């Protein structure tokens, strides 16, 4: 197998221990406005500032997130739809 060059970024902007441990899931991360939204394996939404990595909040949605999270900006608010393994659908509204 031929050697593959290793990519080295010019710099790492930030790197932070999410603190999720066993709560880390395999779902995609979502960027909406200044937020980085991280769905977890145990039904939590964790939120970091996308520019700094600073922890913003955590919200318990349910026993487990069932589908991809949907997040968008509308009327200067960040809206986040989630659905869970226990059949709940939730719409969060966050001040931008």
Q: How confident is the model over 41-88, as pLDDT tens digits? A: 888 899 999 999 999 999 998 888 888 899 999 999 999 999 888 888
Is the pLDDT at 1 greater than 60, yes or no?
A: no
* CA-atom Rg of the chain in angstroms: 16
Q: 18 in the Ramachandran plot: left (φ > 0), alpha (ψ -120 to 50) or beta?
A: alpha
What is the structure's pLDDT at 85? 86
60 touches 83 (CB < 8 A)? no
Q: How confident is the model over 75-89, as pLDDT tens digits? A: 999 999 998 888 889
57 touches 19 (CB < 8 A)? no
Q: Token pair of 65, please? A: 């997130």
What is the structure's pLDDT at 86? 86
Local structure of 52: helix, strand or coil:
coil
């Amino acid at each position: 197998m031929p050697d593959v060059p290793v990519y080295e970024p010019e710099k790492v902007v930030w790197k932070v221990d999410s603190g999720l441990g066993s709560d880390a899931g395999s779902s995609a991360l979502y960027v909406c406005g200044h937020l980085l939204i991280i769905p977890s394996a145990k039904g939590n939404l964790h939120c970091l500032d996308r520019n700094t990595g600073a922890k913003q909040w955590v919200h318990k949605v349910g026993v487990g997130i069932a589908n991809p999270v949907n997040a968008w900006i509308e009327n200067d608010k960040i809206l986040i739809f989630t659905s869970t393994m226990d059949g709940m659908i939730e719409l969060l509204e966050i001040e931008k």
